[in-house]
């Protein structure tokens, strides 16, 4: 198995050297570059085409451009790279921002060097490793989805709304529900009063937002 080309972007000298010593000394890896900032790293990538890491360990808290902000630029220069975020923070915001930016793994800095090593191997095999507490936050992100209050609408009113939101006209809605056009109008009227809105546009926007 060929060694995995690596890069590290970390400003803290203690952690950086610790990583460099541990990973650089492991024959499974080929540590190509160690940067102290995104700017530094981008510069290196631009000037030296030989730096093509498969995996990057990226600190999230960096002087200048943050790790998250840097991901797009890095991916632009080295599209295939997998990014592992290293961080002391576990705020949901940062986690999701990093994942959305293209990070594929997110580790707390408190984990052991062995765990980091394993995470690199996992990522390089096409997997992903998240610290347990971070994984939990990610998982919980999916749960609030089913939390949608249907508003104070009656069941019938909700049916009307569904039709309208799905693009049906009042007439088509009337046909579909087997009621008269005027009845649909009446329902809409009441719905608008209850929801305190006054146009189909707002109704659609409102319905789409909560889903």
Partner DNA sequence: TATCCCCTCGCATCAAGATGTGATAGCGAC
Partner DNA sequence: GTCGCTATCACATCTTGATGCGAGGGGATA
Residues that bind a copy of itself (CB under 8 A): 96, 99-100, 102-105, 122, 125-133, 135-136, 138-140, 142-143, 145-146, 164-165, 167, 169, 199-202, 204-205, 208-209
Q: Which two tokens stand for residue 123?
A: 């990522």
Q: Which of 91, 180, 205, 210 binds DNA (CB under 7 A)?
A: 180
Which residue's entry shows tokens 């529900």? 177
Least separation in angstroms between CB 182 and DNA = 3
Our CB check for DNA shows the closer of 119 and 203 to be: 203
Pick from 199, 203, 209: nearest CA to 157: 203
Binding to DNA by residue 161, rule CB under 7 A?
no
Q: Which two tokens stand for residue 17?
A: 């050297």
Q: What is the dihedral of CA 45, 50, 51, 54, to 10 degrees?
A: 130
Say which DSSP state 61 is in: S
127 binds, among DNA, a copy of itself, none (CB under 5 to 8 A by kind): a copy of itself
Cβ–Cβ < 8 Å for 118, 50 = no
Q: Which of 192, 195, 206, 207 binds DNA (CB under 7 A)?
A: 192
| Total residues found in the chain within this entry | 211
Q: Which of 147, 149, 201, 208 binds DNA (CB under 7 A)?
A: 201
Least separation in angstroms between CB 6 and a copy of itself = 18
Q: Which two tokens stand for residue 26?
A: 């492991």
155 binds, among a copy of itself, DNA, none (CB under 5 to 8 A by kind): DNA
The site that binds DNA (CB under 7 A) totals a number of residues, namely: 25
Q: Which two tokens stand for residue 32?
A: 């190509």
């Amino acid at each position: 198995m060929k060694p995995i080309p690596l890069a590290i972007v970390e400003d803290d000298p203690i952690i950086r050297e610790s990583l460099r010593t541990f990973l650089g000394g492991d024959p499974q890896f080929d540590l190509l570059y160690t940067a102290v900032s995104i700017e530094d790293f981008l510069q290196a990538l631009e000037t030296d085409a030989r730096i093509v890491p498969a995996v990057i360990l990226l600190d999230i808290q960096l002087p200048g451009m943050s790790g998250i902000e840097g991901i797009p630029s890095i991916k632009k220069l080295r599209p295939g790279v997998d990014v592992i975020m290293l961080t002391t923070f576990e705020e949901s915001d940062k986690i999701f921002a990093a994942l959305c930016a293209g990070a594929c793994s997110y580790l707390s800095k408190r984990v052991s060097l062995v765990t980091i090593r394993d995470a690199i191997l996992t990522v390089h095999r096409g997997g992903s490793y998240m610290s347990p507490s971070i994984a939990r936050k990610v998982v919980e992100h999916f749960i609030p989805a089913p939390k949608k209050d249907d508003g104070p609408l009656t069941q019938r009113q909700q049916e009307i709304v569904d039709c309208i939101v799905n693009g049906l006209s009042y007439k088509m809605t009337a046909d579909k529900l087997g009621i008269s056009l005027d009845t649909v109008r009446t329902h809409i009227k009441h719905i608008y009063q209850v929801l305190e809105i006054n146009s189909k546009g707002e109704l659609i926007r409102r319905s789409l937002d909560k889903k």
